[in-house]
Amino acid sequence: MRTHRDQVIILKSKNYSEADKILTVFGKEFGKFSLLAKGVRRLTSKNRGNIQTLSIVDISFYKAQGIPLLLETSVVHIPDFTNFDVKNSERVLHLVSKLIPEEQKYSKVFDALRSAIQKGLIDEYTSRFRMLLLMEEGLMDNLKACSECGGMSEKRYIQLSNFVLLCENCYINKGLIEKDFMVVDSSLYSDLRFVSALDQYINNLLINIL
């Protein structure tokens, strides 16, 4: 038998024929892949309500030649779309579609995305998820050690133009002059200035990669 199970996050769904859709999903075990959801556009389809973007769903699917076939779905979490921040869904989906490789298990990123969705994709968790993915892909410095001296300090500062980190000492020597620094604390990730700096960082990065 070639029936598999996985927990997946629905990333994209595209109408295929009159009754079918092609889904792009990100699975905990199988990574990012596409699935054919047959008959799912019919009102009678049991899977119909379970495949909205960013829903978390347990699925079974059949894999032989060609595109895998969706069999059953069971909802784990459907986002509350009335309170969902559309901008943050776009931010997350954009980055995920560009950076997550096809058909490779990527559990750490899966767990982080699932958790961000379950927490409602508010600014803080959207920023934290985006930074985690960038760091995992080697596209952002790990923000633990000072980029100048390598030291760890309690109080740290991040430069918004390039996302490098400075310890307190190096900040006093350098950062005070350059001005575009913010203190790293729990309020940082939802700060509007920080969020738009992260948008900018990602835009520049994706232009250079592609």
Q: How far is the CB of 146 from Zn ion (least distance, A)?
A: 3
> Total binding residues for Zn ion by CB under 5 A?
6
Which residue number, 63 or 174, has a Cβ lying nearer to Zn ion?
174
Burial of 104 (0-12, 13-18, 19+ CB in 10 A): exposed
DSSP element (H, E) containing 125? helix 123-136
| Helical pair 192-209 and 86-99, crossing angle rounded to 10 deg | 30
Q: Which of residues 115-174 bind Zn ion (CB under 5 A)?
A: 146, 148-149, 151, 167, 170
Which residue number, 49 or 151, has a Cβ lying nearer to Zn ion?
151
Which residue number, 47 or 159, has a Cβ lying nearer to Zn ion?
159
For residue 172, what are its two tokens?
A: 């006093």
CA 181 to chain centre: 25
Which one-letter amino acid corresponds to residue 109? V
Q: Which of residues 170-209 bind Zn ion (CB under 5 A)?
A: 170
Which residue number, 25 or 170, has a Cβ lying nearer to Zn ion?
170
Q: How far is the CB of 15 from Zn ion (least distance, A)?
A: 53
Q: Does 56 bind Zn ion (CB under 5 A)?
A: no
Which residue number, 160 or 167, has a Cβ lying nearer to Zn ion?
167
| Helical pair 86-99 and 123-136, crossing angle rounded to 10 deg | 10
Q: How far is the CB of 167 from Zn ion (least distance, A)?
A: 3
Convert 30-54 to b/e letters by CB count within 10 Å (16 or more is b). bbbbebbbbbbbeeebebbebbebb
Q: Which of residues 62-121 bind Zn ion (CB under 5 A)?
A: none
Residues that bind Zn ion (CB under 5 A): 146, 148-149, 151, 167, 170
